[in-house]
Amino acid sequence: MFRYPNGKPYEPKEQFLQKKQQSITYSNRGMTLEEDLNETNKFYLENKLAVIHKKPTPVQIVNVDYPRRSAAVIKEAYFKQSSTTDYNGVYRGKYIDFEAKETKNKTSFPLQNFHAHQIDHMRNIVEQGGICFVILSAFNEFYYLDAKNLLTYWNRQETGGRKSITLNELNEHGHKIPLGYQARIDYLKIIDKLYF
């Protein structure tokens, strides 16, 4: 039995004793991946491990509804330009650039999740000697896949081959990232193994 500091016994309310039945939903999985990466990057920054930030998407706002200043609503906006990848920064003196993607597909990771301009950007980073990769949420796991491997799969698709990455290919060329506590998706451990 728990007691308050005044000695009075704690009696939990009935509503807290009953477990709520939660249905599994995948509607915000992308946001969860992004939130986990943002928390990981915040941990890296606060502990002076790396400086990695999410890139803002450049947007041109065209029409705003102002019923009151505190309730302004953007009614129309356009992307100014195609975005490149989601995150970039510096780790141990090296430029880091990566994209985060996910799929609910149970058999493979579709390459259609990537855009040609993102692939071109990643190719440019690799050619300049930067560390470039993707973090994939697939098959109930998180994977680190080096951009060089992604480019191989993309080139295969471009020449009429398979249009997705299989689970076996991810297990062979990717690196599973176990979920952690403070660094939720600790991808720096993989970078340390591969580059340092």
Whether 95 shows a pLDDT value over 70: the answer reads: yes
Q: Which residue has the higher pLDDT, 143 or 7?
A: 143
Whether 131 shows a pLDDT value over 70: the answer reads: yes
Single-letter amino acid code for the residue at 83 = S
Q: Which residue has the higher pLDDT, 168 or 26?
A: 168
Contact 108, 167 (CB under 8 A): yes
| For residues 45-66, average pLDDT | 87
Contact 145, 173 (CB under 8 A): yes
| Per-residue model confidence (pLDDT) at position 120 | 96
| Per-residue model confidence (pLDDT) at position 12 | 63
CA distance 15 to 20: 9
CA distance 34 to 101: 9
Q: Tell me the percentage of the chain whose pLDDT exceeds 90.
A: 64
DSSP assignment of 47-100: TTS-EEEEPPPPEEEEEEE-SSGGG-EEEEEEESS----SEEEEETTEEEEEEE
Give the Cβ contact number of residue 113 at 10 Å.
Answer: 17
| For residues 55-70, average pLDDT | 78
Whether 112 shows a pLDDT value over 60: the answer reads: yes
pLDDT one-digit tens code per residue, 27-45:
444 458 999 999 999 999 9
- Lowest-confidence segment of 17-21, 98-102, 146-150 by average pLDDT: 17-21
Band (81; pLDDT cuts 50, 70, 90): low
pLDDT one-digit tens code per residue, 134-176:
999 999 999 999 999 999 999 999 999 999 999 999 999 999 9
The pLDDT mean for the chain works out to 86
